[in-house]
Amino acid sequence: MSKKDETRTRIMSTALQLFSEQGYTRATTKQIAEKSNVNEITLFRHFGNKETLFQETLEYYVEEMHLNDEIERLISQDFEKSMSEIAADYLEYCKRNKSLYLIQMRLPDNMEKFVKLKMSRGFKKGIMPYFIHLESEGMINGDPEKMASTFINSILGAYTIYLLSKDTFSRFSIDELVQEHARQFVSYYRV
């Protein structure tokens, strides 16, 4: 990695931390630069402005969850088992990206929508080929795109509520609730 890339990555890592802790509005470019051990001019040379820094940080840390390598394996097993695995993987993705969820909760409405859209699109893109295959084989009764959106948004919603309510969420763990959602999802869409 070049020195320039290392600096960009360090700035984005710091930005992610400060946006998560303080929110987009309260975290300043000056704080981000200082904590990244660069001057503010260097930050602006790399990103131009705070909004671009935020968007590029989001792009960098929001990984798309691709199932392409696993589709053959998922297709060869039971629909319920596959959805259970996909749900567990998506929940792990949410947990790994907790900072991004915390950031989105502190954003103005228009920016919060951008973050939610970006995060759900990455996963939707990964799961769509699986649902399209199941539909072509006559194994599911539903529109693959609607199914992907429903599945993703319900897990994302449960995780968001879980983050907001901490220990008072439910007598069940978030993992148990996500698995129950996967089971109900399968029972609704299976042919």
What pLDDT sits at residue 22?
A: 86
Domains, the chain, with CATH or none? 3-61 (1.10.10.60), 68-189 (1.10.357)
Q: What is the pLDDT of residue 129?
A: 87
How far from 36 is each of 8, 30, 32, 66, CA to CA, in Å? 9, 10, 6, 31
Measured between alpha carbons, how far is 1 from 5 in angstroms, rounded to an integer? 6
Confidence grade of residue 117 (pLDDT, cut at 50, 70, 90) = low
- Length of the chain in residues, anyone? 191
How would residue 102 be classed by pLDDT, with cut points 50, 70 and 90? confident
DSSP 37-95: TS-HHHHHHHHSSHHHHHHHHHHHH------GGGHHHHHHS-HHHHHHHHHHHHHHHHH
Reported as type and span, the H/E element at residue 122 is helix 109-136
pLDDT digits (tens, 9 = 90+) for 25-73: 899 999 999 999 999 999 999 999 998 998 888 878 766 556 666 777 8
The model's pLDDT over 120-141, given as tens digits with 9 standing for 90+, comes to: 677 787 888 899 999 999 999 9
Q: Is the pLDDT of residue 13 over 80?
A: yes
Mean pLDDT for the stretch of residues 140-163: 88
Q: Is the pLDDT of residue 165 over 60?
A: yes
Q: Is the pLDDT of residue 175 over 70?
A: yes
Task: State the average pLDDT over residues 161-182.
Answer: 80
What are the CA-CA distances from residue 169 to residues 164, 165, 174, 183 (Å)? 8, 5, 8, 20
| More confident of the two residues 110 and 125 | 125
- Going by pLDDT thresholds of 50, 70 and 90, the confidence category of residue 181 is very high
Mean pLDDT, rounded, of the chain: 85
The model carries a pTM of: 0.73
